[in-house]
Structure 1
Amino acid sequence: MNVRRVLIIILTVMLVQFISINVLGDENDIKYIRVGLKNPMVYEDQAVISTNNDGFSIGTIDSSFNEILKTDAKSLFIRLDDFYKIEGDVLKLVDENEQSDYGPYHLEIQGEYEAYDDVKAEITNLENTGVKAYPYYNGKFRIWLGFYRTYEEALTEAGIFSEKLGKQINIIDETKTRIVIEDTEGNILLVLKPDTKLYIKGNTVEGNESIIAVNGSNYRDYLTLNRVNEELIIINYLPLEHYLYGVVPREMSVNWPLEALKAQAVAARNYALVSMRKHEDLGYDLCDTQHCQVYAGYDWESLKSNKAVDETYGKVLKYNGKLVNAYFHSTSGGHTENSENVWGYKIPYLRGVKDDFSIGSPNDSWQLVLNSKEVREKLEANGIDIGDIYSIEPLAISDYGRVLELKIEGTGGVEILKKEKSRKIFGYGSLKSTWFNVKSDADVYVVNGTDFEPVKTTLNKVHVVSANGTITSTRNVYSQVKITNGDKTNIMPVIPNVYIFEGRGWGHGLGMSQWGAKKMAELGYNYKQILEYYYTGAKVE
């Protein structure tokens, strides 16, 4: 097939000294990691990979890479084996009931081959007789024909080819498990089952390293492929330390002090080791997004952040001999938090610590302003409908100031948001932490007539006593109230129109504050001291 998606392919050759990866030992005994690449995928069903190495090698990996085929093509087109329609110069994945130009039914010439060269030689012989064929691989090589749209179409062609070739022809049914690899000329290089675990690397001379671009974004080492229904999954398979090269500069600025970057490298290494197999159901260990930790591959690497990884090689943070789940966040605002006040369970090394190092950092303090309509809309977007909002107030607060329960009252009921759920509702980038208080444009201070201590409340919770002693709830009678001190009169709404969240810090507040680590490094603390300060009782080993 000569049809191609129009994609910008950035071909970049990067020759870097290969760093051998030794076994880390004990529970860190993981040499390689599988990273599911979400960010560079332009289409879920297709991708272009490219290299300025000397083409590609495809093979298996046990203790080393075992090449099964090589191509000098500088770009490969990868797609699902499925129903496609040609629209201009683009292939569009379509439903099997829609009109299509290509389909996932195939013919197989009986017989199997151990080596790619053998199956390729036989395919060449067939092409000399006018039969266009290509290899299929599932541990052995087989010869396939065609991309048929229906079983009936394949059946008709099977009879024709059987008579022409004098060989048994089998029909291969549609399935959601195959992937097609083509070269730039539209030749089918391979159709494969992802569970055969083939790996793709750039052809390199000894001492140089494979760099492969996926839709223009560069990655080290190997790619492997998986398919989940109609999603093509590109996986970067690489040494753990190389993975960290692409994580550290995305999680922390490379302009920060080296010791802070080293602390981030250890925290990221811990996270990877503890969270390994997080996406096993999709065929990889970690994704490249914030769902795991952000990984951007080769393009984001810098000499300084790579140095931080290299100089902490194999170093991990442990508590009582076990790997620490090294949570980190942007800035604590002045105090980190206990784990049970965030996730709901107590972790001995995630204890709140006083954090003056984070004071003065960006987002040390912040403000979020929402009107009552916006609050209602955000609740409803998360399946919570309590009508028009008339009150928001914290019910429970941790010892370090974070809101454990946020009570929201509406005309249709009450909702209590616990711990991080308030951030989920209002947006993690808007409600930057749970360390906040809430004000409104209906706030007043009242005295109870007994001890005359002023208490903050909202006008909708106030009762008015008339001259004849009648007590009336403002909520049920008034829309606004005039308040005067004799000289000045304010007209205030009874039901708040605007809610003001005034908060501190950014993130969940557990473990290391990144801005705090920066400040500590500037003050002369090393990475071990930084980590052991934020993770109570843990030790770098």
Structure 2
Amino acid sequence: MFKLLTLTLSIVLPISLISPLPSNAIAVPSTFQFTGAGYGHGVGMSQMGARSKALAGENATSILNYYYKDVALETADDTKILRVNIGHQLTTARMLTRTQGANLQIFSGDIGDAQGVQPLATIPAMSSLNFSIFGSTVIPSITTGKIVSSIPGNRIFTVRWSGTRYLAGVDGIMTLSHANRKSNYRYGQVQIRAVRAGSLGFRLAITNSVRLADEYLWGVSEMPSFWPMAALEAQAIASRTFALSKAGVIRTACDCDLYGEITDQKFLGYAKEIEKKWGVFWKAAVTNTAGLVLTQSGKPITAWFGSSSGGITETALSAWGSERAFTHSVEDLASLDPTLNPNFYKWERSIPQSVTAAAFLLPDVVTLELLTRNPSGTVGMIRATASNGKQVSIRGETFRSRTKIPSAYFNLVGVQNAVEPAPSPSS
């Protein structure tokens, strides 16, 4: 387990390897070296721990009651339609269906669940529907062979495909391509909206409107489908609960209830349920736990979960500074098992100077100090000192998030290649 420590690194360099620095110069490391354990924020259910408990014969209810404090397992209405972001801050995107006999339809505006709306165009299989952004306007076009047809721009469009709740016909698969990524979607409909993206101006936000109970959960990819059924069922309940806690509040930055990435939950779409050999097990876990959610005081909790911890799980208060009565720190030794968790039972990382400085919003970082540790072993506060003497302290979890190290269960163990800062233009 990690011990409480405060560590200040000073730079000691062999004189024979470099020219002596001026007396007023301060050496700036090029990298900082860390060791640690676990992957993720460590709050809520440990997925490695859930797997271990399932292998030991525990059921989903037992697993969830261990990781979440004073919660009830209740049945809730999970038929809500969620808007899931599947394309964030894009400049271009492309949609098509390769299913023979299927088609896409494009509509002007966000038409919701409305039926009988006249489409702007119907796009047959193998023809593509393309989107780009110009100012605050979404510009669609259709490509059929070598022929490109334009469609008048608008701020938002809706796209449906056959074989869904929204459009009758042959069961189609819609393929979305953007930024060197390609994903398949079987259910719901999509909206393409121009949203403001700070200094980037306007960008495309693409969302998939899907029913939480099945269309969404079948596509959530947060746990390997070949893991024990009790672990999968615990994950299904946690994922359903988390989604329900976020439902109904559309975030303007993504035009969504939920991001389809690990910012919220990884939504893989149709590929998850059709995984060769194993996809049926994840669908079974969703079906076996239909409607079940974790509540406290009658409301769904924000059922955070993560891959693994450093041996003890974390609380929301220690990680983010916000008290949540359903989170607590419990032993999680499975995360330190090299057989169960070979990639993250321990880890080493070297973080470049530029990334470290950016994490603290400083021009550079000369020293780092681990000021406090939380009872779980995560770093509570870490302080950086710049060559100009300015000091900034941030939470260990904030440092993890900004530098992309695996977890906040870490130690600072060294620096490399100290260099003299470049003179400022005024010097």
Q: Distance in 1 between matches of 2:334 and 2:266?
A: 25
Partner of 1:260: 231
**SS of 1:47's equivalent?**
strand
Q: Distance in 1 between matches of 2:92 and 2:413?
A: 49
Contact kept, 8 Å, 1:339 with 1:345, in 2: the verdict is yes
1:269 aligns with 2:316: no
**SS of 1:384's equivalent?**
coil
Superposition map of 1:497-536 within 5 A: 497=416
Contact kept, 8 Å, 1:275 with 1:286, in 2: the verdict is yes
Residue by residue, what CA displacement relative to the aligned partner does 1:163-204 show, whole Å, maximum 9, x if unpaired? Answer: xxxxxxxxxxxx733432425164647536345x64412257
Q: 2:217 aligns with which of 239, 244, 247?
A: 244
| Amino acid paired to 1:50 | T
Contact kept, 8 Å, 1:45 with 1:80, in 2: the verdict is yes
Residues 1:212 and 1:395: Cα distance change in structure 2 (over 3 Å): same
**SS of 1:368's equivalent?**
strand
Partner of 1:289: 261
1:332 aligns with 2:309: yes
Unaligned runs of 5+ in 2: 1-73, 196-200, 274-278, 419-427
1:31 aligns with 2:8: no
Unaligned runs of 5+ in 1: 1-24, 83-174, 441-495, 500-541
Q: Distance in 1 between matches of 2:347 and 2:194?
A: 44
Superposition map of 1:417-432 within 5 A: 417-425=394-402, 427-428=403-404, 430=405, 432=406
Contact kept, 8 Å, 2:104 with 2:160, in 1: the verdict is yes
Q: Distance in 1 between matches of 2:159 and 2:185?
A: 14
Partner of 1:193: 154
Q: 1:76 aligns with which of 128, 132, 139?
A: 128
**SS of 1:295's equivalent?**
coil
1:227 aligns with 2:278: no
**SS of 1:385's equivalent?**
coil
Superposition map of 1:132-151 within 5 A: none
Q: Distance in 2 between matches of 1:387 and 1:358?
A: 32
**SS of 1:396's equivalent?**
strand
Identity of aligned residues (%): 25
* Higher Cα Rg, which structure: 1
**SS of 2:292's equivalent?**
coil
Q: Distance in 2 between matches of 1:29 and 1:268?
A: 12
Q: Distance in 2 between matches of 1:269 and 1:189?
A: 40
Q: Distance in 1 between matches of 2:123 and 2:356?
A: 55
Q: 1:56 aligns with which of 104, 107, 119?
A: 104
**SS of 1:365's equivalent?**
coil
1:300 aligns with 2:278: no
1:355 aligns with 2:332: yes
Deviation at 1:28, TM superposition (A): 4.5
| Amino acid paired to 2:95 | V
**SS of 2:84's equivalent?**
strand
Q: How high is the TM-score relative to the length of structure 1? A: 0.51
Residues 1:359 and 1:206: Cα distance change in structure 2 (over 3 Å): same
Q: Distance in 2 between matches of 1:184 and 1:209?
A: 21
Residues 1:176 and 1:334: Cα distance change in structure 2 (over 3 Å): closer
Deviation at 1:406, TM superposition (A): 2.2
Deviation at 1:76, TM superposition (A): 3.1
Partner of 1:508: none
Q: How high is the TM-score relative to the length of structure 2? A: 0.63
Residue by residue, what CA displacement relative to the aligned partner does 1:118-164 show, whole Å, maximum 9, x if unpaired? Answer: xxxxxxxxxxxxxxxxxxxxxxxxxxxxxxxxxxxxxxxxxxxxxxx
1:66 aligns with 2:33: no
Residue by residue, what CA displacement relative to the aligned partner does 1:426-450 show, whole Å, maximum 9, x if unpaired? Answer: x22x3x222233344xxxxxxxxxx
Residues 1:203 and 1:419: Cα distance change in structure 2 (over 3 Å): closer
**Divergent runs of 4+, >6 A:** 204-208
Q: Distance in 2 between matches of 1:292 and 1:411?
A: 37
1:435 aligns with 2:409: yes
Q: Distance in 2 between matches of 1:255 and 1:58?
A: 38
Q: Distance in 2 between matches of 1:386 and 1:227?
A: 36
Partner of 2:92: 45
Deviation at 1:416, TM superposition (A): 2.8
**SS of 1:38's equivalent?**
strand
Q: Distance in 1 between matches of 2:321 and 2:381?
A: 12
**Paired residues, what number?**
315
Q: 1:214 aligns with which of 176, 194, 218?
A: 176
Partner of 1:396: 372
Partner of 2:162: 202
Q: CA RMSD in A?
A: 3.4
